[in-house]
Amino acid sequence: MSKPHLLLASQSLRRRELLALLGLPFEVAVANVAEVPRTNEPPAALVIRLSRAKAHAVITYPDIIVIACDTVVALDGEILGKPRDATEAAAMLYRLRGRPHTVYSAVTLLQPVTGRALTDVSETWVTMRAYTDAEITTYVASGDPLDKAGAYAVQHPGFHPVAELQGCYTNVVGLPLCHLVRCLRAWGVELPRDVPAVCQAHTGHHCTVHTTILK
């Protein structure tokens, strides 16, 4: 399995960009899964369930390894998914302003031909900066928050919403790369690149956790 055929079950441009950093060819398919939490469902359980559901939603491609991921923001135990509209996006950003929260992502590998599956969960602790009301208005008007959990992109060049981050940076972007690498290695997949080095060069973020994740 040194050169597997990969399929990313996501329409997210951010996830495609991050997956390309591995240096392996892949295809993309859209997984139509309702991202709705169940009553009292913990954030980690939600992202695990949804990432697995997304992987199974594209199993019409049998001779392939499916990669699926789901990401949510949790504030005081409440799950913040993607905002339904600009009003909800602004409300989320007001609630998050100057406060810590946790970002959860689950990445799932699925080999449809055998039914073999593997899921890994990443948690990152994030504190937002005290951005202004005007900055919220401008950012929401850009439309950028509408397809993002918690209504923000950590990497947005104009908004820069995050003051402090502890954990995997790409988890907050939407695909925890080292967790994905750990899963692929467990399946014997050989990667042609030093992913932590490539990731840090791409994001500009100095990572302090990759050695722990990939130990």
Tell me the catalytic residues: 70
Could you give the CA distance from residue 138 to residue 55 in angstroms, rounded to a whole number? 36
Could you give the CA distance from residue 166 to residue 179 in angstroms, rounded to a whole number? 15
Residues 78/41, Cβ–Cβ less than 8 Å: no
Residues 14/173, Cβ–Cβ less than 8 Å: yes
Could you give the CA distance from residue 202 to residue 115 in angstroms, rounded to a whole number? 34
DSSP strand E in 43-115: where?
65-75, 78-80, 100-111
58 burial level (CB within 10 Å; 0-12, 13-18, 19+): buried
Could you give the CA distance from residue 88 to residue 79 in angstroms, rounded to a whole number? 13
First and final C-alpha spacing in the chain: 21
Could you give the CA distance from residue 5 to residue 157 in angstroms, rounded to a whole number? 33
